Amino acid sequence: MRLRRRLAVISTHTSPLARAGTTKAGGMNVYVSDLTRHLAEAGWDVDVYTRRDRVDAPEMEHLGQGVRLFHVDAGPPVSLPPIEIAAHVSDFTTGVQKLAVQSEPYDLIHSHYWVAGLSGIELSRQWQVPHAVMFHTLGALKEVFQQPEPPFRIAGERRVVACADAVIGATSHERAFLIGQYQADASRVQVVPCGVDLEMFHPAGVDQSRRRLAASLPGLCLDDGPGILFVGRLEQSKGADLLVEALPRIKSRPDTRLWIVGGDERDHAERARLSTLAADCGVAERVRFVNAVERTKLPDLYRAAAVCVVPSAYESFGLVAVEAMASGTPAVATRVGGLASTITDGETGLLVGDRQAPAFAAAIDRLLGDEPLRRQMGAAAAHQMSRYSWRSVTRSILDVYEELLSDRANSGSQREPCCPDSVESLLVAAG
């Protein structure tokens, strides 16, 4: 009998090594990276499989003790949007199988995002092991917020929901949506929130943080006092433009700066759009853009800011708000998805129901103009975020795994294939 259990993590469209805060990398990359590390510490051997998106990526590399990352050939070795990667799912699955025969069998599969879920279904059928999936974002949810998605994405997600042994949602809202809109079997949908690295994100001396930032990110202009912080991918749905428009309406501190942290050279068009907007609003001098930074720099940024604002159209969880609050800075965010459950309105931050610049300006003004309130909320926020510690999140994920393994042991190793159709036929049928 093996001492350590073995887990195959499928993260087809993006690697845990990708720089978070850029076009295709964000919360999911951070999540996979942190979760696999904690699972390895808890005694599992973890292999992560991702699609090769550059020629020179090694076939395998170690991410840390007990965690290996495999780059699987499937489609051209260049970066592709997830929708295009869906066409290479069968090749990817075959590639994983070929690599996996070199190692001991796996006990369980955990896939991330619907494209990976399609591979997870097939691998689970072949290896006869349970399959847990997390979607991180759902196509039908994006559509609620006016972001159309191709029909085959929703069809693919439905397939994964129907076939996975467990679906893990980050919030009870996501669970209800999976049951209501995707007809998920309620007994198979578990809620486990995302985790936050509390060793990295915690309150600490603000002056020291500002000094470190002044040296490492001189473009921030910290001299004018605490600013308004936006952190995230420069995607329109993230709403950085709302903050640019809110800036001239903030009366309590008319000189406050807005720091927009995220994106890189590939986002020049969006950055140009935001710069033009800032000029039109008469605040060009007060908006600072910073390319996506390593996560190690973010705690200082969160602490140095007066408030971190997440004006997204939707967030399934919204790690940035949790990281900011864990660092002792209140968050202002749209009252949607995960943000509505991680922020306690009026206690750890403010939730904005009306997703418009004036409403964000009013909420930011309330905090900027009242330092005692800000401090009180920041302290409450840091205290509350301990509920998202990786220790407790890893325990909850392991509980899901253990239940799947004992169900499988009780029902025998053979299981009827749930979804005999090929991925190709699914994509063709959905157009």
Residues 241 to 300 in contact with ligand UDP, rule: CB under 6 A: 261-262, 292-293, 295, 298
Strand 258-261 to strand 287-290: parallel, antiparallel, or no bridges (unpaired)? parallel
22 and 233 Cβ atoms separated by less than 8 Å: yes
Considering the complex, state which of residue 178 and residue 320 has its C-beta at the smaller distance from ligand UDP: 320
Report which secondary-structure segment, H or E, holds 256: none
CB of 317 to ligand UDP, least distance (A): 6
SS3 breakdown of the chain: % helix, strand, coil, rounded to 5?
50, 15, 35
Please tell me whether residue 333 binds ligand UDP under the rule CB under 6 A. no
| Binding flag, residue 66, ligand UDP (CB under 6 A) | no
Determine, following the binding rule CB under 6 A, whether residue 323 of this chain makes contact with ligand UDP: yes
Residue 21 or 120 with smaller CB distance to ligand UDP: 21
Among 130, 227, 232, 337, binds ligand UDP (CB under 6 A): 232
Name the burial class of residue 379, with classes exposed (0-12), middle (13-18) and buried (19+) by CB atoms within 10 angstroms of its CB: middle
All residues at 6 or more sequence positions from 421 whose CB lies less than 8 Å from its CB, including other chains: none
Q: How far is the CB of 26 from ligand UDP (least distance, A)?
A: 2
Scan residues 14-33 and list those touching ligand UDP (CB under 6 A).
20-21, 26-28, 30
> Which residue from 307, 320, 325, 400 is in contact with ligand UDP, where contact means CB under 6 A?
320
Q: Give the C-alpha separation, 414 to 408, whole Å.
A: 9
* 256 or 312: CB nearest ligand UDP: 312
Q: Candidates 82-90, 99-107, 112-120, 313-321: pick the segment binding ligand UDP (CB under 6 A).
A: 313-321
Interface with ligand UDP by CB under 6 A: which range of 98-106, 281-289, 315-323, 404-412? 315-323
313 binds ligand UDP (CB under 6 A): no
CB of 27 to ligand UDP, least distance (A): 3
Q: Which of 40, 49, 39 is nearest to 11 (CA)?
A: 49
Does 220 interact with ligand UDP (rule: CB under 6 A)?
no
Residue pair 242/360 in contact (Cβ under 8 Å)? The answer is: yes
Our measurement of the distance from residue 262's CA atom to the centroid of its chain's CA atoms, rounded to an integer in Å, reads 14
Closer CB to ligand UDP, 63 or 231, in the complex: 231
Determine if 227 is a binding residue for ligand UDP (CB under 6 A): no
Q: Which is nearer to ligand UDP, 20 or 246 (CB)?
A: 20
Provide, rounded to whole angstroms, the least separation between the CB of residue 201 and ligand UDP. 9
Determine which helix (DSSP H) or strand (DSSP E) holds 51, and give its type and residue range. Answer: strand 44-51
The verdict on 173 binding ligand UDP (CB under 6 A) reads no
Q: Number of residues interacting with ligand UDP: please give it, by CB under 6 A.
A: 20
| H or E, element range at 423 | helix 423-429
Q: In this structure, are strands 307-310 and 331-334 parallel, antiparallel, or unpaired?
A: parallel
In degrees and rounded to multiples of 5, residue 383 shows phi and psi of -65, -45
Q: How far apart are alpha carbons 278 and 267 in whole angstroms?
A: 16
In whole angstroms, the minimum distance from the beta carbon of 99 to ligand UDP comes to: 27
Smallest distance from ligand UDP to CB 321, Å = 7
For 56-91, letters b (16+ CB in 10 Å) and e give: ebeeeeebeebbbbbbbbbbeeebbebeebbbbbee
Q: Does 80 bind ligand UDP (CB under 6 A)?
A: no
Smallest gap from residue 270 Cβ to ligand UDP (A): 14
Q: How far is the C-alpha of 98 from the C-alpha of 66, rounded, in Å?
A: 21
- Smallest gap from Cβ 314 to ligand UDP, in A, equals 9
Binding site for ligand UDP (CB under 6 A): 20-21, 26-28, 30, 231-233, 261-262, 292-293, 295, 298, 317-320, 323
